[in-house]
Amino acid sequence: MEKMIYHGSDHIIEHPEFGYGKTYNDYGTGFYCTENPNMAKEWGVGIDHNGYANQYKITCDGLSIFDLNASKYTMLHWLTILLENREFDTSTPLAAESKEYLLTTFHTDYKAADIIVGYRADDSYFSFASDFINGAISYRQLCNAMRLGKLGQQFVLKSKAAFNRLEFIGYEIADAKEWYKKKAFRDQSARRQYFDTERNHRQRGDLYITTILDEEMKPDDPRLR
């Protein structure tokens, strides 16, 4: 299986370096890409600088792919990975208990994978996840919120074997005047939809983190599907 993937950056990267990068990204250290070139352009620009959508070809045959969209995983598996790698404010007793329970119950062996596919938690989406562990929104609202703004999926290279499969194809320049505006609009749109249609609209029977904790719900609970 061959894929075209794109990495948004403020510079051209012909030879991505294995083991390089921030440890507190969504899935830890890795090379973060997308299958959407336009999304890479948004990720690459800043308010005052142009960006690049670096393009690569990768052959995935023989590589292990950890896909969080698979039916055996829930949104709580994604959130647990986020809790392991990102810094959450868990100063409240509920948030601290939520983090401990999720890390114990929904942990997955994602670090053994060559590639991870899953949601990207930029500023807005990270705040949605934080609201959930603090009891402000339900599980249904969290799942809906993660699809707002059509942020798309990340395609993250984690292993040396995956890096060795990369072939640099070229790049496209992303003009900041065009793509930063689109990036900001996507974020604002997601936030607006979140507050207008999700955060303040509880439904009868909604499942909150308190119920998950009190009932000690497990990954195979049908209410999490």
Length of the chain: 225
Q: pTM of whole model > 0.75?
A: yes
pLDDT digits (tens, 9 = 90+) for 153-186: 899 999 999 999 999 999 999 999 999 998 888 8
pLDDT digits (tens, 9 = 90+) for 130-150: 999 999 999 998 888 777 655
Average pLDDT in the 189-217 region? 84
- The pLDDT assigned to 168 comes to 98
Burial 202-220 (b: 16+ CB within 10 A, else e): eeeeebbbeebbeeebebe
Average pLDDT in the 16-35 region? 89
**DSSP 8-state class, residue 144:** H
- The pLDDT assigned to 113 comes to 97
Residue 13: pLDDT band with limits 50, 70, 90: very high
Residue 2 contacts residue 58 (beta carbons within 8 Å): yes
Query: Where in the chain are the domains?
Result: 2-224
Tracing tokens 């393009």 back to the chain, one arrives at: 55
What is the average pLDDT value for the chain, to the nearest integer? 90
**Residue 163 structure tokens:** 């890096």
Residue 151 has pLDDT above 70, yes or no: no
Amino acid at 179: W
**DSSP 8-state class, residue 46:** B
- The pLDDT assigned to 143 comes to 87
Q: Is the dihedral of CA 179, 2, 31, 173 positive or negative?
A: negative
**Residue 2 structure tokens:** 């061959």
- The pLDDT assigned to 120 comes to 80
